[in-house]
A and B are shown apart, each in its own frame.
Chain A
């Protein structure tokens, strides 16, 4: 187990390092240089000062040096300053991180709570009318764009029924974006749950259990549930990664003050350091969550520990 932990932590570290380098390189994909972008968006920067700022930001040095120094500084917790507000990016980004994680957790929770029973019901009824119905609903639901769903949810629950506020970031406002994420990602959970359960149901030990004359309920509760739960971890991990992508848009629909909203505002204003900070922190939180899930997986399934 210790070997697994060490291996995963080292892998996670290198992944984050790669993200840092990539975030550093990507800025140079931008047309023109960051200082030109900064001047376009803030009248306070005088053209004469441009060269000074370039020097201060190290833009006059070779790219590999800039990228390297960005990574080193970032590892020390310095993600630079926002072009627009001149605040430290690390603070701006970390302030928003809890909001993003809270919404992700709520959305993922809802998606699992709806998706797992649907997938389970479809799997144990494989081939009959219930399965066909649930599978059809799932295919239909998976085709709905999340942000459109969000706008409809907003129209129904906030505008028409007035049950919830339209937008904002306190706990009362969590309901609608979380509901949207739950509705948008439950089909994925249901689909994966169904096919993972079908795999387990096809195992020899299930046939043996049935041959021993156990009731179907007992077979499911005792023999199928445990391996299926272990598979659930993988499913939750994969859906989490997908969902974090969609969440960027949903945060903007509901003006939820998370990383995604910060990032899109920064993208529209070409505030490059903030965008870099978003990429770094957003990617790092995905790496952290994935790594934790893998470690739990190792804890539950001894086969994972030796590789």
Chain B
């Protein structure tokens, strides 16, 4: 977020093609997740709706898994958990991280230094390590995985939100507003937040994409969502076990993850360039 300091007033009227494409894919995926129960041709958890390890065809679009469950239905319904964990974790991480970042930026030198030390400490380790360390002790499960991912991402959010807020803090309009308003909470809510909300949106988009990846990774390791639920990372486990006999089990959930991550990255990149023309030129 280098160009955040001299960002021009937002919408320039031009819609970035990446933003449009990403949004299109994301809307389709979200619709699939929300309408899964109606679209899915079979009960995703019912075994033996077809032969075991059947190849993709007209009846079973994505084929079947080792228990004869319909993969198309499982991938479709799996979108709910995968996207749900991603969005939930970013929501939680952004709330906690954002509050820490804003607090650091607007509450005096001592609090600022103390919070930044803690944030920088956590920031120097991979998010995955933090998430794994937490889930190791909390135990596996959907809610624990989401919590762990949220905590893993919080330092990134805290640091970025702090960076954005610290830039605004030095601007004349904030100084003027701070003379006119009494409470720092009001200052942040009314004056600062509206000016950094677009950059935070970019951050959130990219965050969801990495959270979806982490969630799938944790489930794949057996530390996230537990069977028999359908979640993309979990389906990939049987994909790995039946790799040579039924490669389609590996292919479709992986493709779903790729599409999700791609669409969110496109939205994030497009949104950033749209709101920050200077950045568009250099990167």
Query: Which residues from chain A sit less than 8 Å from chain B, CB to CB?
Result: 15, 18, 23, 26-27, 29-31, 139-140, 142-148, 151-152, 154-155, 159, 194-195, 198-199, 202, 241-242, 244-246, 248-249, 252-253, 263-264, 266-268, 270, 272, 275, 279, 282-283, 286-287, 290
Residue in chain A with minimal CB distance to B257: A145
B223 interfacial by beta-carbon distance below 8 Å: yes
Q: B282 touching A155 by the CB < 8 A rule?
A: no
Q: Is the CB of A241 within 8 A of B125?
A: yes
**Contact of B126 with A143 in the complex, beta carbons under 8 Å:** no
Q: B262 and A267: CB pair below 8 A?
A: no
The complex places the Cα of A282 from the Cα of B254 at a distance, in Å, of 28
Q: Report if A145-B125 is in contact (Cβ < 8 Å); known contacts: A202-B282, A279-B133.
A: no
Q: Could you tell me if A241 and B126 are in contact, using CB atoms closer than 8 angstroms?
A: yes
Closest chain-B Cβ to A296's Cβ sits at a distance in Å of: 17
Q: Point out the residues of chain A lying under 8 angstroms from B128, CB to CB.
A: 245-246, 248-249
CB-defined interface of B181-220 with A at 8 Å, one 1/0 digit per residue?
0000000000000000000000000000100010011001
Nearest 5 pairs of A and B residues by beta carbon:
A245-B126, A245-B128, A143-B262, A148-B254, A143-B261
A90 to B266, CA, bound (A): 44
Knowing that A147-B220, A155-B243, A202-B282 touch, tell me 11 more A-B residue pairs with CB under 8 angstroms.
Answer: A29-B138, A30-B137, A140-B262, A142-B265, A143-B258, A145-B216, A155-B250, A159-B243, A195-B282, A244-B129, A245-B126
Interface of B is mostly: helix
What's the Cα separation between A26 and B125 when bound, in Å? Answer: 16
Chain B residues whose C-beta falls within 8 Å of the C-beta of A140 in the assembled complex: 262
Chain A residues with CB below 8 A from B221, complex form = 249, 252, 264, 267
- B261 x A145 contact (CB < 8 A): yes
Q: How many A-B residue pairs have CB under 8 A?
A: 124
B contact residues, total (Cβ < 8 Å): 41
Q: A144-B258, A145-B217, A145-B258 are in contact. Are A151 and B239 (CB under 8 A)?
A: yes
Q: Which residues of A contact B129 (CB under 8 A)?
A: 244-245, 248, 279, 282-283, 286
Contact status of A154 and B243, CB under 8 A, knowing A26-B137, A143-B209, A286-B125: yes
Q: Taking each of B125, B135, B243, B266, which has the highest tally of chain A beta carbons within 10 Å of its own beta carbon?
A: B125
Chain A residues within 8 Å of B216, by CB: 145, 147
CB distance from B168 to the nearest CB of A (A): 23
**Residues of chain B lying within 8 A (CB to CB) of residue A142:** 261, 265
* Across-interface contacts of B261 in A (CB, < 8 A): 142-145
Chain A residues near B136 (CB, 8 Å)? 26, 263, 266-267, 275
Task: Look across to chain B and name the residue whose beta carbon is closest to the beta carbon of A149.
Answer: B254
- For residue B124, CB closer than 8 A to chain A, the reply is yes
> Chain A residues with Cβ under 8 A from B269's Cβ?
139
In this complex, which of B126, B265, B269 has the most chain A Cβ atoms within 10 angstroms of its Cβ?
A: B126
A15-B132 contact given A29-B138, A143-B261, CB 8 Å threshold: no
Of chain B, the residue at the smallest CB distance from A159 is B244
B166 within 8 A of A: no
Check A143–B132 contact: CB distance below 8 A.
Answer: no
